Chains A and B, each alone.
Chain A
Amino acid sequence: DVKVTQSSRYLVKRTGEKVFLECVQDMDHENMFWYRQDPGLGLRLIYFSYDVKMKEKGDIPEGYSVSREKKERFSLILESASTNQTSMYLCASLWAGGAHEQYFGPGTRLTVT
């Protein structure tokens, strides 16, 4: 079974802090994704990566950056956290061959105060 893990289930940070959200997958998938999920807005893609050190902006990249130094790990960085970044953050991975089935991690509930 594919396993996608996220470093924290719950996180509370203060406005202006630099925040790192970590995601690890164990299936050698090329593609990894970061989404945020908000009530009434659904899931929105922040960034994705199709290979090590490669990244593309999603629909809402402002205020975020990402890092992919190793194939299994994809990090989301909030350079200076703001209250409007309070959200559920979901990481996902995808194998580019075959069925293109996407697998999600358990999510990180981030609260910025």
Chain B
Amino acid sequence: KQEVTQIPAALSVPEGENLVLNCSFTDSAIYNLQWFRQDPGKGLTSLLLIQSSQREQTSGRLNASLDKSSGRSTLYIAASQPGDSATYLCAVRNSGGSNYKLTFGKGTLLTVNP
């Protein structure tokens, strides 16, 4: 059974700092991995999606990497801003079988202080 872990559970940084959020998964037979952002009381916004054949994806100040063999992904945020404060969730879709299901980590709560 796939399990997804995100460390740390919470992170507080000063504005302008570069930071890395970590995600690990137990079963390397994945189809893709998706990073989401969630603001308090809101739905999930998709940030980046990495296919199993890819090593990384970039969008603006965000860069996500994937090391399938070691079961790890990182989300790098450059030059953090207070508006980046949110919970960041990592989710994995397994390959084979019914691959409609996403397995989620519990998220990292990021606070960027002005």
Instruction: Kindly state whether residue B59 has any CB partner on chain A within 8 Å.
Output: no
A42 touches B101 (CB 8 A): no
A99 touches B104 (CB 8 A): no
Residues 93-112 of A at the B interface (beta carbon under 8 Å): 94, 96, 99-107, 109
CA distance A43 to B38 in the complex (A): 12
Q: Main secondary structure on chain A at its contact with chain B?
A: strand
* Residues of chain B at the chain A interface (Cβ within 8 Å): 31-32, 34, 36, 41-46, 49, 51, 89, 91, 93, 98-102, 104-107
Besides the known contacts A100-B32, A105-B43, A109-B41, 13 further A-B residue pairs in the complex with CB atoms under 8 A apart: A31-B100, A40-B106, A42-B106, A43-B89, A48-B100, A50-B100, A88-B41, A96-B100, A101-B34, A102-B91, A104-B45, A106-B42, A107-B42
Chain B, residue nearest A48 (CB): B100
Residues 28-59 of A at the B interface (beta carbon under 8 Å): 31, 33, 40-43, 45, 48, 50, 56, 58
Question: How many residues does chain A have at the interface if contact means C-beta atoms less than 8 Å apart?
Answer: 27
CA distance A45 to B98 in the complex (A): 14
Question: How far apart are A36's CB and chain B's nearest CB, in angstroms?
Answer: 12
Residues of A within 8 A of B104 (CB): 42-43
Instruction: Kindly state whether residue A21 has any CB partner on chain B within 8 Å.
Output: no
Residues of A within 8 A of B91 (CB): 102
* Residues of chain A at the chain B interface (Cβ within 8 Å): 4, 31, 33, 40-43, 45, 48, 50, 56, 58, 88, 90, 92, 94, 96, 99-107, 109
CA distance A102 to B89 in the complex (A): 13
CA distance A50 to B100 in the complex (A): 8
Name the residue in A50, A58, A104 with the highest tally of chain B Cβ atoms < 10 Å from its Cβ.
Answer: A104
